[in-house]
Amino acid sequence: MSEEIVLKKAANAFGLNLSLLTHVGGNVNNVYQYPAENGFPSRILRLSNHNWRNEKEALAELHFMKYLFENGVSVPKIFPSKAGKLVEKVTDGFHASVLSKAPGRIPTEEDWNEIMFLNWGRIVGQMHFHTQSYVPLQDVKRRDWKEESWMDLMRHLPYEETIARQKANELLNWLETLPKDRKNYGLVHCDLHAHNIFVTKDGDITAFDFDDCCYHWFAYDIAIILYSVILRYSRQDKKGDTLDDNVAWFLNWFLKGYQEIRTFENWWLKAMPKLLSYRRLLDYNFLHQRYDWNTVDGERKMRWLRLKEEIEADEPLTNYPF
């Protein structure tokens, strides 16, 4: 079935004019923007392939987002279809959903400041606070991190990657020692880096793209964000402040915002170096899943080699004194 027919069926299900949809990108999903009209704000139509997420998984994601939205967290509003469904089966291979477009933009250099960090901490704190009382739909629940195929290090890292597999095994065993009570573990975004938030001129943040949400440690949800901050610094011309200075600057304001909402457990900071190493291994694992070492080239191959060297040398991502 052609993409245009699938898109037409999705538009009809949600009462949208096909000619007004504009493709704006997407990685595992196809994402289209729809302009504000008839009292509705600008919306996003997301077309998803069943091979990545089935309808129940998508419904579980949107139900969680709806719960957060209704509790005052700045996430997109979910719009039901004409039949009242949050997720509409379009064809045997695709399903669709519609959300409000987040206000603002992907953060730029001028947005990268204390106000944004403070609000970033606040919104993560809000999500971690509300997930503690969240009750999923019966028989419709997001997976635990160990059930996510793409996070399965020992399945995807090749056997010849002996050092990486050894490091992965050590970190996975260490993760099993961490507390899994309600104040430390729950349903989290699991991918809230700076390209999954929009920020306004006032620094207000909206979190979106909950496609990777799963049950994990709150500390790891924060480690993902910190990892992205470290990568951002490494891509810049290193002038002035050091990486560790930037980590300190970010964490100082992020944690202030987070602690306005809920307690930041003492062990989380001490665990950060290992959680960052775990996140780096997942990054490396993803490259092995997605690409072929024999054919990949250019910047991606350089990144692959850099990750391999860092992992095998057990190089810390930062020397910040957690």
Please, where in the chain does CATH 3.30.200.20 lie?
3-100
Q: What is the mean pLDDT of residues 224-248?
A: 89
Q: Name the percent of the chain in helix, strand, coil, to the closest 5.
A: 50, 15, 35
Residues forming beta bridges with residue 140, ordered by sequence position: 137
Q: What is the DSSP letter of 161?
A: -
Alpha helices in 176-242 (DSSP H): 218-235
SS3 assignment, position 239: coil
Is the pLDDT confidence value at 145 over 60?
A: yes
Please, where in the chain does CATH 3.90.1200.10 lie?
109-312
The average confidence (pLDDT) of the chain is 94
* Predicted pLDDT at 241: 84
More confident position, 27 or 221 = 221
Cα dihedral 235, 241, 247, 251 in deg (nearest 10): -130
* Predicted pLDDT at 39: 92
More confident position, 270 or 240 = 270
pLDDT grade for 295, boundaries at 50, 70 and 90: confident
CB distance 18 to 7 below 8 Å:
yes
CB distance 69 to 126 below 8 Å:
no
CATH architecture, domain defined by 109-312 = Alpha-Beta Complex (3.90)
* Predicted pLDDT at 110: 94
CATH placement of domain 3-100: 3.30.200.20
